[in-house]
Structure 1
Amino acid sequence: MELVRPADVEAARAALAGVVRETPVTPSRALEGFSHGPVLLKCENLQRTGSFKIRGAYRRIQRLDADERAAGVVAASAGNHAQGVALAAQLLGTRATVFMPAGAPLPKIEATREYGADVELVDSLDDTFAGAEAFAARTGAVLIHPFDHPDIVAGQGTVGLEILEQVPDVATIVVCTGGGGLLSGIAAACVPAGVRVVGAQAAALATWPASLAAGAPTGVAGATIADGIAVSRPGPVTFAHVRALVDEIVTVSEEALARGVLRCLERDKLLVEPAGAAAVAAVAEHPGRWPAPLVAVVSGGNVDPMLLEDIVRRGLVAAGRYAALRVRLTDRPGYLADVLRRVGQAGGNVVDVEHRRLSGAGTTPGTVDVALTLEARGHDHRAAILADLAAAGYEVAAE
């Protein structure tokens, strides 16, 4: 298979002039402690539609002939590709129909409609592809694949060209990956320039390690909070690029993804979705692993506010700053007040208290379980609070 060349990416960039934003690259002091040099964030969360996807979608549709555009386009997506296709179709004067899972974040569904696409909701992500393929066969609409097409790869690769200009001495680029379109494009643009390119994937749905080990695209099962990279199998186009060009693939846990979102929000003042935080999570999980200057691509910022609340809580728990404890104490006046006083003296902030008078297993007459939710300053501080309560004679356990 012929790989996308730097010249193809340059041609895509010329076609995208005036359509996409040249997103900023900003230093991340929060991540420099995990590297031997500067770490910068490429902020594609500030791109039109909130992710890099508009780049590949526009280039793919722009290269259709007049008859193909007249037939319209169709896509399958959990959200970011949907919005990219919808806006690209609107800008290029063609109709777009997008099949999305009914469980996709509501803001992504509504935004896709607002960009002018017809949205068809189906049961699952797998059903979206089946629905889109059937629609294409029935109507003649052109299927715009979310990652597995040379034009998509070339369009996404324009992110890499911008990085080369913005950080001329870049040594490593870390990129989130699901199907591999963005990773393939950046590798096509940047590896010939001598840059190391690393892919970061959610460990809960890590198809790339399995595929590379097998020597062919391989499907895996799983689920992840990073819906933007929740792809169960790469395609032949992206597989060929990743196998030939990408230096390394690493995986990150769900807790690391949550910490990545929280780190971007707190330290870098960026609203980032879990998929967009995968590269940030990888840098933090593998300190000093890659040469600097290092650029972590923040691929998107489309996150459901309800999911964001849960992710932030996960990040706080993973960082030891949010804890749930069970304390068993004597069921007499003053004991609960003593526990709360000790937590306060240790610097903990109690968020919630549940007095479990009928707690059941393990309790004896005259004792009661109290569930505490509290804020701490980190793992060491949390451990110190537990130790202080235990030293005072209370039976305490983390929940």
Structure 2
Amino acid sequence: MKHTRIAAAAAAAFMLAAGAASAATEVVIQYPYGELFNETHKQIVAEFARKHPDIKVTMRAPYESYEEGTQKVLREAITNQMPDITFQGLNRLRVLVDRGIAVGLGKYIKAEKDFEAEGFHQAMFDIGTMKNEVYGVPFAISLPVAYYNLDLVRKAGGNPDKLPTSWDEVFALSARIDALGGDINGMSYTWNITGNWLFQAPVFSQGGSMLNADETKVAFDGPEGQWAMKQLARMVTEGKMPDYREADLRAAFAAGKTGIHFTSTSDLAKITGMIGGKFDLKTAKFPDVKPGVGRLPAGGNLAVILSKDPARQKAAWEVLKFWTGPEGAAIVAKTTGYMPPNKKANEVYLKDFYEKNPNNYTAVTQLPLLTKWYAFPGENGLKITDVIKDHMQSIVNGSRAKEPLVVLKEMAADVQALLPRKTN
């Protein structure tokens, strides 16, 4: 009889556990760039599961890029097959808000108690604010920096303790590195990175903008854009930059074949791992940011809730909070080169991290220069990105490297024709 009671109790406990498991709310997530974020999300999922057994997180296969992720969500919105949470590039939030796809988060934020104590602050919310409503919370922030192969710097007669702070100095050192001969490249610049990010960077660094204040006219063809396009051309003519794909530029640098490499801080963990101690690596600030007016665009991505179902939406908010909160943010910093925007993550969880990892700290020193990664308005916003990329390609491949201002003029005209026309 005793054994019967024990068996019955065990069965009841099993049924309760099974019931609890079946009652767990599922939240489906999809994110970009698996090579950068797979390990990050894997670790956060594990931490979240220990603290929130009532919510089951399911991960879809990663988007290949920010552009592909946005296009996929736009298609899925038509057939109602969107994930509950999508991680989108900071410059891709606009189209989801304009199409009425992203869910406003104001009511959830307002209901939170001691949110600031958990590291959330107004600057975080500003990044994901459109039309006076918060639609996304930043998950991972990056800024452009320079990566230096100090072994090649030394061989070329450079000083590892006094790296270039201007493009003139960069090109001079790059040319000396290139002159070492063999298969050594002086420099590389990931100009083709998603969303024209590294075209915006030099323009913004001089105080320029993409469009005028009411977004009716191209502004990047002014003095700041002309300066930026000239620097791109000089990378080819003076810096001896090869015409490689983004992944190949990274691989060449990690293999010790390139002296100076400009790209996002997001690549730091991957590049460091690829180098594997083959040479001394040091990061440095983006050159020639004009004092007082210069800014740099924040790269990275934010979490956006898409689910319209009340129960799943509520569970998705709990997931979003954890991913962008101090624990999730600390995992981001430790597994990638991104900076966590969460204050508590930086001040508590990462207290000693930057002291031990100075290459990660370089971008943190540039945080006062942070500005929004610009997204072009209208139905042709994504197409404009491709138009700019195609024009830049004509300079990088060398065919028009000697006429950057002519290319800029043509690029501006093509973009102007794709802008939405204001009606009175």
Q: Structure 2 length as normaliser, TM-score?
A: 0.23
Pick the structure with more strand per residue: 1
**Larger helix fraction of residues:** 2
